[in-house]
C-alpha cells in the first residue's frame, strides 16, 4: 500500500508518532547476542563432557560408573531418563544409551550401572577397559520413561528385569530420599540370587520406608531359595499386589527384550488397560530375523551395498542396524536413543528397502517420503542414502 | 565464485516455500536447518501410538475447490495439491465460560448469526450490525490492500479507513452490551496473541471473516505432512538440504551478502540469502553489528517479540464422542475481562484463556482406531519461565500444566479417565526447537505498531531476504506465502 493511502487510516499518524518515539529510545539488541543459546544450554546442552570419578562393583557382572562433569555443570534430569555415551571402541566411534541410576536430587554426578552383555561390543569395553579418570562425551539426559504427575497417579508398580532396574533405582532413591507421596511396589526378576543388582540397598530402603515394597523373582534359584521363582507372571503380580485396584495403578516395565511380550500379555490378562502401562524403549533386538515381519528369505549374514551421495559404497549386514555399519565406515550420525524413537538420526532413503521392527517410531509422512531411523533400520536390499 | 546462487536459513514454512519457489526457477539453492526435520513449528513427534501435531489448530485461507482461498491458490500454483489432502472443519469454534456460557458458531455467516441471536435475543440488531461491519470492512480491505486500488480513499472506502486501526474492544463495545456476547464473538483474540484492547480491528475482522468464508482446515497427516511434501518437492526440483546444520554467521562485505558459516564451521559462498530464522536472530545473532545500519538497529530495538505458548499434548484411549468432545475447536475462558486473561500469559499463574483442539473430530483417521488426540494451548510469554531455576523447571511445568488440565476437566470431565500419553511444551521448549527469542511462535507482537502497515520488511543488506513470522505476520498461511514472495523478489533481482 502506498504511503499516501495508508496515511488516511484513522489513527495512523498517532501510531507513527509512537514508533518514532520508541525508536529514539530503542535499546541496542546486539547486547542480547548469544542469550537464546545460553538459556537453552542451561537445560539441554547438546553434549556433556564427562569423567569417571569412581567405579563400583555391584555384582559379578554389573558395575556402577560415577560420572562427573569435565567442564559444564550437569543439567537436571527426571528419574528414569538416560544419557547416550559416545566412545571410540577399537577405533570405531559409537554410542549406547544408559539410564541414570542415581537420584535426580543432586546433579553433582550421574551414576550409570551396566551389566555385561555376552559378546557386547560396548558393554564389555566399558566393563574391562574404562578406568577412573577416563573422559568421554554424552548427550544430555533424555527419555520419557519417568513419572508424569499429570496422569500417572501415586500408586506405582515397577516391573524390572536384570539391568532394567537402573531407571527404577533412580526413581526409588528420589521418592524415598525426598519423602514423596507415592507408593512403589518393585517386582524384580534376576537370573540368580547373587545377580540381584542393588540387592542390599533395596532391602534397606524397603525396611525404612513404608511406601516401598520389593518382591524378587529368581529364574534359576539355588536350592535354598524360598521366594518366587521363574518369571514375572500374572500370579506373581497378583500375589505381590493383591486383587484390589489393579487397574488404577501405573505399571512400568523395563528389562530384557524377552520379558516384554511375556509380561504384557500377563498384565492384559489381569485386566490392566494399556493406558496404565509404561514401557521403556529397548535397543536393537538380539536376533532381528526372529522378529515378526522379517522376510524369511533373508538371513542375518546377507550383505547389501550402501551407497552415499558422494558416491562412496560399502557393505552392510542385514542382521545389524544400519547405524552400526555406518559407524564402522566412519559415518557418525546424531543419535540419542538408538532405539528408533528419538528421530535424531532420521535419514532419507533414496532407493532400496529396510526393515524397521515394531518398536521404531516413524512419523506417518516420514514413511511416505522414505525417511528411516538407521539406528533401528536393517537393510533388506542395496540402499542409496541421502547422506 | 559462489557455491550456491541462494542459501535458505531454516526449513520452517517460510523457508520451505522460498526454497521450492527458487529451486523450481532453476536457482541453485542450499537449505540449512538446525533441527533434524523440516517444518519449524509445522511439525509432529511420536509418543507411544500417537503422532502429536505441534502447531496447527486451524489452517486459514484454504477455501474450497469452487471458492479457493489464497493459500489453496498458492499450493496449486506450486503444484502441491496432488501430494496433500485437507480436512474441512464445520465449526469456527465452541466458546465456553464454565457455568456461564457455552455456544458453538458454525463456519457460516447466517448460522453463526442465528446461534448468537438464540443465546442473546436482546441483542439481535447489534449482532446484525457487527457482522455487516465485518463483511463491509473485508470487502473494502480486498480493494485497498489486496487489489491495491490506486485510487483508494477514505471517501470511497470509509469502513476500511475508519476501522482498520481501531482497537477490537471498542468495536465490540460499540455493538454489544452483554460481556458474554463480546467474549463469544471476540474469542479469537486468545489465539491471535493480543487482547482486544490492543488488537487492531482490521486484523481481527480479516481472521473472523476469512475463517467463515474460506473455512478452517486441518491437514491430513498433520502439518508434518505439508512440511515433508514441500521438502520433497524441493529436493525433486534439484534443491540441496542439510539437517542438523545451523547457520552461525552471515558474512557481509560492503553491504552485500557474500556467504554463511555453519555451526560446524564450514563456509559457504553465496550472494543471496533467504532467512527464515527471523529478523531478530538474523540481525542479533548472525550478522556482525557493524554491518547493520543505525536505523535498522533502532527499528529492531523498537519492536516487541510476541508470545510463545504452553501446549499440552493429550493422547486418549477413547474416541471423541465417548469423551463428550463434539467440536474440534474449543475456546475455554475463565473471565470476560480479556485484559485480565491476557495478563495471566505473563505469569506462572493458571492461564485464564485457552484453546482445546481435538483432531479426530473432523478426521477420525488422525489417531489409531479407538483413540484420539488433542492439544490444549495457552499463549504464554517466556519471561516468567526464564526466572525459575533450572532445578525447578520440571516441577513448575507440571504444576502449570495441571492448572490448565483442571480448567479443561470443568468442561470435559471424562478426559481425565482416559489419558494414555501426555507431553507438555513450554516457551522454553519452543525456544529450544525453533531458536527464536522468547520461543515466539508468531514473530513480533501482533499489535498495530508491529504490523506490516508500519514496516516494509525489506532488508538494508543487499542479497538478504526474509521469510516467516518475524518478517510479517505469524500463522501458517502468512508464513507459507511470505516464503514464496521473498523468493520471487530474489528471482527478480537475479534477472
Ligand atoms: C533407554 C535405554 C537405557 C538403557 N539403560 C541401560 C542400563 O542402565 N544398563 C545397562 O546395562 N544397559 C542399558 N541399556 C542397554 C545398553 O544401551 C546396551 O544395549 C548394552 O550395554 C549392550 O550394548 P553392547 O554394545 O555391549 O552390545 P552390542 O554389541 O550392541 O550387542 C551384542 C548382542 O547383545 C544383544 N543385546 C544388546 N543389548 C542387550 C541387553 N541389554 N541385554 C541383552 N542383550 C542385549 C544385541 O542384540 C547383540 O546380539 C539401555 C538401553 C536403552 C535403549
Ligand atoms: C502451539 C502452536 C500453535 C499454533 N497454532 C496455529 C494455528 O492454529 N494456525 C496457524 O496458522 N498458525 C499457528 N501457529 C503458528 C505457526 O505455526 C507459525 O507462525 C509458523 O509455522 C511459523 O513459520 P516460520 O516460517 O516463521 O518458521 P518457524 O516455524 O519459526 O521455523 C523457523 C525454522 O528456522 C530454523 N532456524 C532458526 N535459526 C536457524 C539457524 N541459525 N540456522 C538454521 N536454521 C535455523 C528453526 O530451527 C526452524 O526450523 C501455531 C504455532 C504453535 C507453536
Q: Is the domain of A270 the same as that of A166? A: yes
Q: Is the domain of A248 the same as that of A326? A: no
Q: Is the domain of A275 the same as that of A297? A: no
Percentage of chain A lying above the pLDDT 90 cut: 93
Determine, yes or no, domain membership for A103.
yes
Q: Is the domain of A97 the same as that of A161? A: no
Instruction: Calculate how far, in angstroms, residue B42's C-alpha sits from the geometric centre of ligand 2.
Output: 6
**First-residue to last-residue Cα distance in chain A:** 46
Beta bridge mates, A371: A348
CATH number of residue A132's parent domain: 2.40.30.10
CA distance A352 to B446: 47
Residue A26 has pLDDT above 80, yes or no: yes
Closest residue CA from atom 18 of ligand 2: B475
Q: Which of residues 166-225 of A touch B (CB under 8 A)?
A: none
Q: Is the domain of A179 the same as that of A238? A: yes
**Mean pLDDT, residues A253-270 taken together:** 94
- Residue B113's pLDDT is 98
Pull the grid cell for residue B316. Answer: 486418549
- Residue B276's pLDDT is 98
Residue A99 binned pLDDT confidence (cut-offs 50, 70, 90): very high
User: Which of B165, B398, B428 is closest, CB to CB, to A149?
Assistant: B398
Backbone phi, psi, residue A48, to 5°: -110, 140
Pick from A37, A257, A282, A122: nearest CA to B286: A37
Pull the grid cell for residue B235. Answer: 529436493
- Residue A258's pLDDT is 87
Backbone phi, psi, residue B343, to 5°: -65, -25
Q: Give the pLDDT confidence of A313-331 residue by residue, as tens digits.
A: 999 999 999 999 999 999 9
- Residue B233's pLDDT is 98
Chosen domain end from A280, A312, A332: A280
CA distance B252 to B287: 7
Determine, yes or no, domain membership for A230.
yes
Chosen domain end from A138, A173, A199: A138
**Residue to substitute from A16, A36, A149, A274, interface B, most B β-carbons within 10 A:** A36
Number of domains in chain A: 3
Determine, yes or no, domain membership for A146.
no
**Mean pLDDT, residues A191-198 taken together:** 96
- Residue B458's pLDDT is 84
Contacts 24+ apart (CB under 8 A), A299-306: A304/A352, A304/A379, A304/A380, A304/A381, A304/A382, A304/A383, A305/A382, A305/A383, A306/A379, A306/A382, A306/A383, A306/A385
CA distance A40 to B476: 25
Pick from B185, B209, B218, B222: nearest CA to B107: B209
Place of cell 526435520: B37
Q: Is the domain of A363 the same as that of A337? A: yes
Determine, yes or no, domain membership for A310.
yes
- Residue A175's pLDDT is 98
**Mean pLDDT, residues A260-289 taken together:** 95
Q: pTM for the whole thing?
A: 0.96
Range in A180-184, A234-238, A243-247, B95-99 the model is least confident about: A243-247
Residue in chain A nearest B433 by alpha carbon: A40
Q: Give the pLDDT confidence of A353-363 residue by residue, as tens digits.
A: 999 998 899 99
- Residue A341's pLDDT is 96
Q: Is the domain of A251 the same as that of A184? A: yes
**First-residue to last-residue Cα distance in chain B:** 18
Pocket around ligand 1 at a 6 A CB cut-off: A 82, 96-99, 112-115, 117, 119-124, 143, 163, 166, 256, 281-286, 337, 339
Query: Can you count the helices (H) and strands (E) in chain B?
Result: 17, 19
Determine, yes or no, domain membership for A309.
yes
- Residue B199's pLDDT is 97
Determine, yes or no, domain membership for A324.
yes
Do residues B250 and B287 lie in contact, with contact meaning Cβ atoms separated by under 8 Å?
yes
CA distance B255 to B460: 8
- Residue A4's pLDDT is 87
- Residue A340's pLDDT is 97
- Residue A321's pLDDT is 98
Do residues A144 and A82 lie in contact, with contact meaning Cβ atoms separated by under 8 Å?
no
CB contact under 8 A, A365 and B428: no
Instruction: Calculate how far, in angstroms, residue A38's C-alpha sits from the geometric centre of ligand 2.
Output: 21
What is the domain extent for residue A343?
292-386
Q: What would you report as the CA-atom Rg of chain B, rounded to the nearest whole angstrom?
A: 22
Cα separation values, A21 from A26, A371, B137, B301, Å: 8, 51, 30, 12
CATH number of residue A168's parent domain: 3.40.50.80
A73's CB contacts (< 8 A; 6+ apart) are A107
**Mean pLDDT, residues A99-114 taken together:** 97
Determine, yes or no, domain membership for A16.
no
The ipTM, to two decimals, is 0.96
- Give the DSSP H or E segment for B249: strand B247-253
Residue A72 has pLDDT above 80, yes or no: no
- Residue A73's pLDDT is 85
Residue A2 binned pLDDT confidence (cut-offs 50, 70, 90): confident
CB contact under 8 A, B47 and A144: yes
A160's CB contacts (< 8 A; 6+ apart) are A168, A186, A187, A188, A189, A254, A255
Residue A311 has pLDDT above 90, yes or no: yes
- Residue A1's pLDDT is 81
Q: Is the domain of A163 the same as that of A236? A: yes
Q: Is the domain of A262 the same as that of A321? A: no
CATH number of residue A351's parent domain: 3.10.20.30
Q: Is the domain of A126 the same as that of A174? A: no
Chosen domain end from A251, A280, A309: A280
Q: Is the domain of A179 the same as that of A264? A: yes
Q: Is the domain of A342 the same as that of A304? A: yes
Determine, yes or no, domain membership for A12.
no
CA distance A130 to A127: 7
Mean of per-residue pLDDT scores for chain A: 96
Residues of chain B below pLDDT 50: none
Residue A365 has pLDDT above 90, yes or no: yes
Amino acid at each position: 500500500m502506498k504511503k499516501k493511502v495508508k496515511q488516511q487510516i484513522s489513527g495512523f499518524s498517532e501510531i507513527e508518532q509512537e514508533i518514532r518515539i520508541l525508536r529514539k529510545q530503542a535499546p541496542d539488541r546486539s547486547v542480547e547476542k548469544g542469550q537464546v543459546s545460553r538459556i537453552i544450554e542451561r537445560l539441554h546442552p547438546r553434549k556433556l563432557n564427562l569423567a569417571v570419578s569412581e567405579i563400583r562393583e555391584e555384582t559379578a557382572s554389573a558395575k556402577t560408573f560415577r560420572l562427573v562433569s569435565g567442564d559444564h555443570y550437569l543439567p537436571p534430569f527426571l528419574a528414569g531418563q538416560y544419557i547416550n555415551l559416545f566412545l571410540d571402541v577399537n577405533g570405531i566411534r559409537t554410542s549406547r544409551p544408559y539410564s541414570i541410576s542415581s537420584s535426580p536430587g543432586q546433579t553433582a554426578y550421574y551414576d550409570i550401572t551396566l551389566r555385561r552383555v555376552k559378546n557386547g561390543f560396548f558393554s564389555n569395553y566399558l566393563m574391562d577397559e574404562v578406568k577412573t579418570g577416563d573422559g568421554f562425551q554424552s548427550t544430555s539426559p533424555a527419555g520419557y520413561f519417568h513419572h508424569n504427575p499429570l496422569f500417572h497417579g501415586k500408586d506405582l508398580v515397577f516391573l524390572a528385569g536384570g539391568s532394567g532396574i537402573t531407571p527404577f533405582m533412580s526413581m526409588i532413591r528420589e521418592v524415598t530420599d525426598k519423602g514423596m507421596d507415592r507408593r512403589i511396589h518393585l517386582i524384580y526378576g534376576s537370573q540368580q540370587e547373587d545377580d540381584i543388582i542393588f540387592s542390599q540397598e533395596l532391602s534397606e530402603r524397603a525396611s525404612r520406608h513404608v511406601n516401598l515394597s520389593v518382591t524378587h523373582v529368581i529364574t534359576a534359584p539355588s536350592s535354598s531359595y524360598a521366594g518366587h521363582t521363574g518369571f514375572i507372571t500374572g500370579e506373581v503380580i497378583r500375589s505381590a499386589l493383591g486383587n484390589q485396584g489393579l487397574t488404577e495403578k501405573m505399571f512400568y516395565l523395563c528389562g530384557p527384550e524377552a520379558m516384554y511380550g511375556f509380561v504384557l500379555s500377563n498384565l492384559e490378562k489381569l485386566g490392566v488397560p494399556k493406558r496404565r502401562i509404561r514401557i521403556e524403549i529397548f535397543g536393537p533386538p538380539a536376533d532381528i530375523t526372529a522378529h515378526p515381519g522379517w522376510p524369511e528369505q533373508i538371513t542375518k549374514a546377507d550383505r547389501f551395498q550402501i551407497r552415499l551421495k558422494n558416491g562412496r559404497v560399502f557393505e552392510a549386514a542385514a542382521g545389524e542396524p544400519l547405524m552400526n555399519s555406518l559407524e564402522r565406515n566412519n559415518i557418525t550420525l546424531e543419535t540419542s536413543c538408538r532405539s528408533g524413537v528419538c528421530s535424531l538420526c532420521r535419514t532419507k532413503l533414496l532407493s532400496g528397502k529396510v526393515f524397521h521392527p515394531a518398536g521404531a517410531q516413524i512419523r506417518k509422512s516420514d514413511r511416505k517420503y522414505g525417511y528411516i531411523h538407521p539406528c533401528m533400520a536393517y537393510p533388506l536390499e542395496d540402499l542409496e542414502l541421502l547422506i | 565464485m559462489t557455491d550456491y546462487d541462494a542459501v535458505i536459513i531454516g526449513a520452517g514454512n517460510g523457508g520451505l516455500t522460498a526454497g521450492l519457489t527458487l529451486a523450481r526457477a532453476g536457482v541453485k539453492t542450499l537449505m540449512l536447518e538446525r533441527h533434524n526435520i523440516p517444518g519449524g513449528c509445522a511439525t509432529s513427534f511420536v509418543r507411544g501410538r500417537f503422532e502429536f501435531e505441534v502447531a496447527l489448530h486451524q489452517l486459514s485461507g484454504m477455501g474450497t475447490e469452487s471458492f479457493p482461498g489464497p493459500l489453496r491458490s498458492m499450493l496449486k500454483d506450486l503444484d502441491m495439491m496432488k501430494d496433500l489432502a485437507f480436512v474441512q472443519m464445520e465449526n469456527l469454534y465452541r466458546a465456553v465460560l464454565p457455568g456461564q456460557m457455552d455456544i458453538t458458531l458454525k463456519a457460516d455467516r447466517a448460522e453463526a448469526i442465528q446461534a448468537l441471536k438464540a443465546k442473546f435475543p436482546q441483542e439481535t440488531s447489534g449482532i446484525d450490525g457487527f457482522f455487516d461491519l465485518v463483511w463491509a470492512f473485508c470487502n473494502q480491505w480486498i480493494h485497498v490492500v489486496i487489489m491495491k486500488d490506486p485510487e483508494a480513499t477514505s471517501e470511497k472506502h470509509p469502513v476500511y479507513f475508519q476501522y482498520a486501526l481501531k482497537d477490537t474492544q471498542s468495536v465490540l463495545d460499540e455493538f454489544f452490551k452483554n460481556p458474554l456476547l463480546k467474549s463469544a464473538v471476540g474469542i479469537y483474540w486468545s489465539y491471535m496473541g493480543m487482547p482486544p484492547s490492543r488488537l487492531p480491528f482490521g486484523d481481527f475482522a480479516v481472521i473472523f471473516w476469512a475463517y467463515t468464508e474460506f473455512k478452517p482446515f486441518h491437514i491430513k497427516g498433520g502439518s508434518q505432512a505439508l512440511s515433508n511434501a514441500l521438502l520433497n518437492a524441493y529436493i525433486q526440483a534439484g534443491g540441496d538440504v542439510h539437517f542438523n546444520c545451523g547457520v552461525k554467521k552471515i558474512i557481509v562485505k560492503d553491504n552485500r551478502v557474500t556467504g554463511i558459516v555453519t555451526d560446524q564451521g564450514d563456509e559457504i559462498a553465496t550472494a543471496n540469502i533467504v532467512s527464515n530464522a527471523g529478523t531478530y536472530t538474523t540481525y542479533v545473532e548472525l550478522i556482525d553489528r557493524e554491518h547493520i545500519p543505525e536505523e535498522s538497529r533502532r527499528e529492531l530495538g523498537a519492536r516487541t517479540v510476541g508470545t510463545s505458548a504452553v501446549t499440552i499434548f493429550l493422547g486418549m484411549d477413547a474416541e471423541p464422542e465417548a469423551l463428550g468432545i463434539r467440536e474440534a475447536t474449543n475456546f475455554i475462558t475463565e473471565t470476560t475481562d480479556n485484559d485480565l486473561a491476557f495478563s495471566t500469559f505473563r505469569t506462572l499463574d493458571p492461564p485464564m484463556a485457552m484453546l482445546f483442539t481435538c483432531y479426530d473430530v473432523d478426521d477420525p483417521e488422525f489417531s489409531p482406531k479407538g483413540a484420539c488426540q488433542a492439544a490444549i494451548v495457552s499463549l504464554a510469554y517466556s519471561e516468567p519461565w526464564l526466572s525459575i531455576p533450572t532445578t525447578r523447571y520440571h516441577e513448575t511445568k507440571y504444576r502449570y500444566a495441571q492448572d490448565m488440565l483442571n480448567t479443561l476437566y470443568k468442561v470435559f470431565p471424562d478426559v481425565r479417565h482416559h489419558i494414555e500419553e501426555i507431553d507438555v511444551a513450554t516457551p522454553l521448549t519452543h525456544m529450544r526447537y525453533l531458536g527464536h527469542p522468547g520461543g515466539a511462535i508468531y514473530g513480533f507482537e501482533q499489535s498495530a505498531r508491529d504490523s506490516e502497515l508500519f514496516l516494509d520488511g525489506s532488508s538494508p543488506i543487499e542479497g538478504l531476504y526474509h521469510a516467516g513470522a518475524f518478517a510479517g505476520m505469524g500463522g501458517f498461511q502468512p508464513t507459507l506465502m511470505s516464503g514464496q514472495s521473498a523468493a520471487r523478489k530474489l528471482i527478480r533481482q537475479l534477472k
